[in-house]
Amino acid sequence: MSSEHTDYVSEVKKLLEEVAPFRRSLMGPGNEQTLNVLGRGLPMERLEFATGQRVLDWTVPSEWVLDRATLSDEAGNILIDSNESVLNVVNYSRPFKGWVDRVELEKHLFSNPETPDATPYVTSYYGENWGLCISKERRDTLVDDKYFVDIATSFKPGNVSVGQVYLPGETDEEILFSSYVCHPQMINDEIAAPVALSILARELAAKTSRRYSYRFVFLPETIGALCLLDRIGQTLIEKCIAGFAVANVARDEPLRAKRSRRGDSLADRAIEQLMAEAGTLSRLNEFAPLGSDERQYCSPGFNLPVCAVTRSVADFPEYHTSADDMTSASLKGVSDTVNEFMKLCSVIENNHVYRSLSPYGEPNLGKRDLYPKFGGANHRENKVTGLLWLLNLADGSNDLLHIAKRSGVEFALLSELAAECEAKGLLECL
C-alpha cells in the first residue's frame, strides 16, 4: 500500500455542507441523518444501545426531543429561537414555560465573554436544568423586567447509534479510527474529523488488498465510546494493534498528537515517524488521561494502543461556539488529514521485519544492479544510504519503523528499497 497526495477539498466541502445543518446530539434523528451521509458507499452498520442499558459503569440516557425553544419579551418579540440555531438552547435542557424576571432569567442564560459575538455551545446531559444560550453582545441588550421562556423539550427512550465500518484485511489484526458525532452544527470541533475518516474509509475500501483490517467508528463522544467498548472491548483488546481518536482537523496547523497510555505501541511509533518526517515531533505529546474518547480507549482495563490525533485542541478561538462554522474551517486541513492518514496507514501496512540473507560483510550491490543509476546526485546518495542502513539493521529483530528512526531515512524509501532487496534475494520478510 503506497500513498500519494490527493486534493479532497471539493469532496470535503460538499460533505461538510451536507452534514453541518443536522441537529446532532447523543442520539436522535440528526445523528441518523449524519451517519447516513458518512456511510454512503461504505459497508456501514449500526450498533445500537437502548436508553437505560448499562454500558460499563454508565447507563445510556434518554433521547432528548427538541420541539422549539424561544425567549420573548413583554411585547411578544421573539429574542432567542432554536429554530434559528439549535445552539440557542442548552443541549438536553429540561422543558420550561412561563414568565421569569430578569434576575431569574440570568441564571439560565449562557454566554462566553471571550467570544462576545458568538453563541456558545452548552450541554447538560446529566443535569436537571433548563437553559438558553446567547451571545454576550445580545445578552447585554436584555433590559426588560420580565421575559417569557418557552422551552418545549421532552425525553423519550431512544438508542445511541454507533456507525461502524469494518474493512477486512489479510489478517483480523486491526487498525481503529474513531471520531465523534454529537456536537450540533460545529465544523472543526466536530464534524470535520468524521468527514475526513469517511473519505479515508472509502479510499481504503477501494484498495484491492489490505494487510490489516480497519474499523472506523462514528459515535457520540464519551457515551458512544463507552457503548462501543462495552460491546466489542474484548475484541479490541485482542485484535487492535493501533488506533487513532481523531478530532479538530479543520485547521491550518500541522498535526498534533498525544501518545497512547502504553507510549510505545505501533500507533505511537507510526505517528512519531510521520511527525519526525514532517519536522513536527515537538507536537507529539506524552499521554495524559484528559481530552476526548482516548480517555475511554486508554482506560487501564482496556489500555488500547490508541493515540489522539488533532490539529488543534480546545485552544482555538471559535471553540464550542457558533463561530466554529464553515467560514472559519480549513477545508485544506481536512483534505490534508486524509492524505496524512493514508500515509500513516501505508507506514503501518509496510512495517515489516526483514532479515538479511547476506549478513556477512556488505552484500555486493553492484553485481545485483542495486546501485542507483538515475535520479539526481542527492536522490542516489539517499538511496545508497538507505540501502546500507537497511541491510545493516535487517537482522530479523528490527522492524522498518525502528530502522527509519535509527537511521533518519524516510520510511517510504526504506520500504521501497526493502521490496527491491527482497526481489533480489538479499532480504527475506519475516
CA 212 remoteness from chain centre? 19
- Cβ proximity to a second copy, 51 vs 328, nearer residue: 51
Q: Does 394 bind a second copy (CB under 8 A)?
A: yes
Contact yes or no for 60/231 (Cβ under 8 A): no
Neighbours of 15 (CB within 10 A): 22
Between CA 62 and CA 126 the distance in angstroms is: 10
CB 165 within 8 A of CB 228: no
| Binding segment (CB under 8 A) for a second copy, from list 11-19, 73-81, 221-229, 239-247 | 221-229
Yes or no: say if 120 and 133 are a contact pair by the CB < 8 Å rule: yes
- What residues numbered 351-370 form the site for a second copy, per CB under 8 A? 356, 358-364, 366
Query: Is residue 289 at the binding interface for a second copy, with CB under 8 A as the rule?
Result: yes
- Applying CB under 8 A, the span of 188-196, 227-235, 276-284, 313-321 interacting with a second copy comes to 227-235
For 141, the grid coordinates are 441588550
Q: Which is nearer to a second copy, 185 or 265 (CB)?
A: 265
The residue type of 403 is: I
224 binds a second copy (CB under 8 A): no
Site string for a second copy, 198-217 (x = CB under 8 A): --------------------
164 touches a second copy by CB under 8 A: no
**Nearer residue to a second copy within complex by CB, 279 or 300:** 300
Instruction: Candidates 296, 321, 350, 351: give the one binding a second copy (CB under 8 A).
Output: 296
- Provide, for the chain, the percentages of residues in helix, strand and coil under a 3-state DSSP scheme, each rounded to the nearest 5: 35, 25, 40
The 299-338 site mask, x for binding a second copy (CB under 8 A), equals xxxxx-----------------------------------
CB atoms within 10 A of CB 222: 17
Burial classification of residue 58, based on how many CB atoms lie within 10 Å of its CB (0-12 exposed, 13-18 middle, 19 or more buried) = middle
Q: Closest Cα to residue 292, out of 348, 351, 249, 346?
A: 249
User: Which residue, 285, 410, 356, 336, is CA-closest to 6?
Assistant: 336
Q: Which of 50, 281, 290, 429 binds a second copy (CB under 8 A)?
A: 290
Task: State the residues that interact with a second copy by CB under 8 A.
Answer: 55-58, 126, 222, 225-226, 229-230, 233, 261, 288-290, 295-296, 298-303, 356, 358-364, 366, 385, 388-389, 391-395, 407
